[in-house]
Chains A and B, each alone.
Chain A
Amino acid sequence: MLVGIDVGGTTTNAVLVDGDRVDKTAYVPTDHDDLLRCLLEALDELIRGVDVSKIERVVLSTTLITNMIAERKTDPVALVLIPGPGTNPRDYNLGEAIILDGAMDFRGKEIDRLNEPQIEEAAASIEKSGISRVAVVGKFCQRNPSHEESVSQILARALPNSKIELGHRVSGHLNFPRRAATTMLTLATKESYADFAAAISRALEGRRINAPVYILKADGGTLPLEGSLKMPVETIFSGPAASIMGVMALTPPGQTSVVVDIGGTTTDLALILSGRPLLSSKGARVDSMLTHVRAFAIKSVAIGGDSAVDVDDGCLAVGPERRGPPLCLGGSSPTPTDALRVLGKSSVGDLEKAKEAMAGVAGKMGCSIEKAAGMVVDLVVEKIASEIDEMFLEWEQEPAYRIWEIMKKEKLQAQNVVGVGGGSVALAPLVAARMGATSIVPEHAPVANAIGAAVARPTITLNLHIDTERGEYVAAEDGIMGQVNDRQMSLTQAEQLARRLLTERAERLGIGEYAAEAEVTRSEVFNMIRGWSTVGKLLDVRMEIPAGLLPSWRCS
């Protein structure tokens, strides 16, 4: 049996999955001041009367880190940058930073040396500030981490009680400012996250649940709790990821679907393209910071069941404002929820009150109550549908750097519109009709997020960069550098090396059994020509275990 728990914005859902069946569900309201308590309350309700020794796996999706960052309850971090030539670091939105001399180039060659006295000075100023967490990030240090490592050694000697995090261990991708932001956020949340993880472990132990515990990440993959301690920021936005994985679990495989989650004031949209959830092409934006965190592409539209309906000069408008609950639910102003109630498309709220709400709109529009309700609903549906069209267009318009990528980019259309979340039951079918797609409201839609958490498999991404002229390879996030003796190394050999490194990482993380699922998602080779002859090759391989479902789950 598998347990999935999603601590969401308003409710905490839990499910017990047995094979391909949802055995039991439970939910409690979420208390933002005590996420651990809600999580455990939901768990306790779920496992009441259940033989806990049969639980094979527990997966949690939590808003802990998201909330910490949004509420600015993170720990202070000192940022030390080695930016080298290029952009003025003040042009990045990174706040205060100590700037050090030293530089690497794109090949990982040292082009400017570190200045030791300057590093000592930096240590002294950090000590004076009283900050005990230091992020050290160098431009191109993912191609050669030696500067970050040297700086870290000097700082560790001078600041023995500090925690130091290095950029190359956080992300091997190109983009220095994102790497700096992600490294800072990692440090700023690591300790609170570790406390939370320890509390979870204790609590499960107390309930005699000995199954391994996983945490859901923003890319829809799971990671053992122990392994996730190193990368707490990856757990941000796991809520939407849980919903999308839930939709994947509850819809036919391989299809193109739009996931529509309509709430009170916002509607979240996500795409599953030919069975694969669409990842944001760059990392996630966290608060105001751009990061390297891989996350599903989610579009939030400011419209929902509680959005205020206004008539201005004969012109109907819905949202983005919310002025309390819908009139039919005891509020004071008309909303789409009232319109749906009038049209009989939903049974939520008091019909008379709903009619009263729409009567006000009808009066200003000079039409019948039903007509007014119809116009309100049409407007909401049109807004959501056009945002979906826009999302497909944005996906098509993503930059491409090769001829074949530009030539082959296919056009996709939504086959399904899948409604999850409370507000979607009535509206999602209307959006589907507008888009000419099939409407799916899955049987377990209200707890889709918890199901998604329960049946998601682990994900891993490995970035391998090889420079055969320099005779080196580097897998930055693992802090691994090695030698390559063959100047003519082939892409196949590079991919074999990537697979070996990925398998080793998977084993270290305790998810070795999934390594076979890894696939190459980017693979490129360039001949280096100097003069008119080939002096070596540059090979880049990205191998990943993408988001997917456990084999035990079969879509029924």
Chain B
Amino acid sequence: MASAIREGKTGLIFFPAFDWAISPTHPEREERLLYTRDQIFEEGLMDLPQIEEYKPRLAESKDIARTHFCVPDVESQVTEAHLIAAGSTLTLADAWERGEIRNGFALVRPPGHHSMRVVHGNRGFCNINNIAILVEYLRSRYGHKRLAVIDTDVHHGDGTQEIFWHDPDVLCISFHQDGHTLYPGSGFVNEIGGPQALARTLNIPLPPGTTDEGIHYVLDNLILPVLKDFQPELILNSAGQDNHYTDPLANMRFSANGYAQLNEKLAPDICVLEGGYAVESALPYVNTGIIQAMAGLDYSHVREPDYVPGSFVQSDAMWREIKKTVEQVNEAWAEREEMVQMALEGLGDFYRRKKRIFYDTDMINESQEESVRLCPDCPGYMTISSSAQRGHGILNNAFCVSIPRGACSSCREDASEEYEEHLENRRIGYVYLQDKDRDRFKFCNNMTRTQKGY
């Protein structure tokens, strides 16, 4: 919303990590942004007066700890490539805050939107969640409160959803190919957030084969009106490019032009690249289109070599399904306040849930028990008890405590007590205290009895 009235250039950070891969033949490999580099450099986009290229910096361990509980610690979960990708979003945030840019695009890898609050390893090609790290940075550094994350990747943004599940001030909207047919198998209409934040998480599962028209229907009839209601201070786009009709890992029929138009309408303040693995047939064109749309340039000349306008048509059944989904989600949005009220009435002092998380890349099984205090005076502190096992390897147990921004003194005391109580408990390997209110983070390795802080 904000960018409609902002002036200035579009900030671009291009960090293709040409020397980083998950494995040599993995989709997330060195070659992924090579042709994108060729295309955007050949177009001379960086020379245009509407665009300013920035150099990325490394995110600090503290920036990661503000969002994640990395087991055993930040340093063992991230490589330099992750820090640069996350740092790129922070560099753009700084430029945005200084008023140097009207909007910014972190065209970086590795991606992040499948990373959840607790990190035991890589899942869905992601170790740390770049856009969530950006959200926490915007809040702690610049005091922003209401932010919206729109996940336009073909896969459900389950990591981002999980991180902001209980937060009524971060609106997370994800549209994606139906979880019955695609990784990570979640993101259904009934996933709408924790009891205090119902309908601040919205999921729009779409049938395989959804076209430009279908996605723009969702945008026009659901996402844009909800954003207008919510009035976020910044709109962030978790900009995956795998809805493209040539993507090898998914089955949608979105075009480069469709992506460009989406970004023109959505007018995100900061875009962060997520997935997209059609390295030759989609990425060069989609990225060119997104950059042009953000910079207010004409994107009508961007066209994939094999694209024939009008060749993708949705069946009536698909249309019915999409419209029904949009209607359902709109209803949830409209009733959000009542739903929260009702949910809280039926609960006691704590809300608890158990969940299992599978890390496909690293073959890790994690089980968690999450607890949030339903505090009348503040957002309430949270604890997560997590145990994870890689294959048949060792079991890693962690106990994580999070103090929210604006915590009341009673939540602060109780949270600190929970942390202290779990120290010295040799059945739990690692204990964490994430104090978002004071921007301080510490953890203890119970086996070696060493403490560390950021």
Interface residues of A (CB under 8 A from B): 83, 85-88, 90-92, 103, 105-107, 111-112, 139-140, 174-178, 282, 290, 397-404, 406-407, 524, 526-529, 531-534, 538
Interface residues of B (CB under 8 A from A): 13-20, 24-25, 29-31, 34-35, 37-39, 41-45, 47-48, 53-56, 58, 79-81, 84, 248, 280, 284-285, 288, 292, 297-298, 300-305
Q: How far is the CA of A33 from the CA of B259 in the complex (A)?
A: 56
* Closest partner residue, chain A, to B248 (CB atom): A531
Chain A residues within 8 Å of B56, by CB: 406
Chain A residues within 8 Å of B301, by CB: 83, 85-88
A105→B19 contact, CB < 8 A: no
Q: How far is the CA of A531 from the CA of B280 in the complex (A)?
A: 13
Question: A391 to nearest B CB, angstroms?
Answer: 15
Question: A99 to nearest B CB, angstroms?
Answer: 10
A85→B44 contact, CB < 8 A: no
Beyond A524-B18, A527-B24, 12 additional contacts (C-beta under 8 Å) are A85-B303, A86-B42, A91-B48, A106-B35, A106-B38, A176-B42, A176-B43, A178-B44, A403-B80, A529-B25, A534-B24, A538-B34
Chain B residues within 8 Å of A534, by CB: 24-25
Question: B22 to nearest A CB, angstroms?
Answer: 12
Chain B residues within 8 Å of A406, by CB: 55-56, 58, 80, 84
Question: A169 to nearest B CB, angstroms?
Answer: 17
B47→A175 contact, CB < 8 A: yes
Question: B300 to nearest A CB, angstroms?
Answer: 7
* Closest partner residue, chain A, to B47 (CB atom): A290
B47→A397 contact, CB < 8 A: no
Chain A residues within 8 Å of B24, by CB: 527, 529, 534
Question: A289 to nearest B CB, angstroms?
Answer: 11
A403→B84 contact, CB < 8 A: yes
Q: How far is the CA of A532 from the CA of B17 in the complex (A)?
A: 20
Q: How far is the CA of A212 from the CA of B297 in the complex (A)?
A: 51
Question: A552 to nearest B CB, angstroms?
Answer: 40
With contacts A91-B297, A91-B298, A112-B305 taken as known, whether A403 is within 8 angstroms of B17 at the C-beta atoms is yes
* Closest partner residue, chain A, to B24 (CB atom): A527
27 contacts across the A-B interface (CB closer than 8 A) = A85-B285, A85-B302, A87-B288, A87-B297, A88-B298, A88-B300, A88-B301, A106-B284, A107-B280, A175-B41, A178-B44, A282-B47, A399-B14, A399-B53, A399-B54, A401-B14, A401-B17, A401-B37, A402-B17, A403-B17, A403-B20, A403-B79, A406-B55, A406-B56, A406-B84, A524-B18, A534-B24
Q: How far is the CA of A527 from the CA of B37 in the complex (A)?
A: 15
Q: How far is the CA of A176 from the CA of B42 in the complex (A)?
A: 5
Chain B residues within 8 Å of A400, by CB: 55
Q: How far is the CA of A106 from the CA of B35 in the complex (A)?
A: 7
With contacts A85-B285, A87-B292, A88-B298 taken as known, whether A402 is within 8 angstroms of B47 at the C-beta atoms is no
With contacts A106-B284, A526-B30 taken as known, whether A86 is within 8 angstroms of B17 at the C-beta atoms is no
With contacts A105-B305, A399-B53 taken as known, whether A174 is within 8 angstroms of B30 at the C-beta atoms is no
A140→B42 contact, CB < 8 A: yes
* Chain A to chain B: the 10 pairs with minimum beta-carbon distance, closest first: A106-B38, A111-B305, A174-B41, A177-B44, A88-B298, A85-B303, A174-B42, A402-B19, A526-B31, A175-B44
Q: How far is the CA of A90 from the CA of B44 in the complex (A)?
A: 13
Q: How far is the CA of A85 from the CA of B304 in the complex (A)?
A: 8
Highest count of chain A CB atoms <10 Å: which of B17, B30, B43: B43
Q: How far is the CA of A526 from the CA of B14 in the complex (A)?
A: 18
Chain A residues within 8 Å of B25, by CB: 527, 529, 532-534
B39→A398 contact, CB < 8 A: no
Highest count of chain A CB atoms <10 Å: which of B17, B45, B301: B301
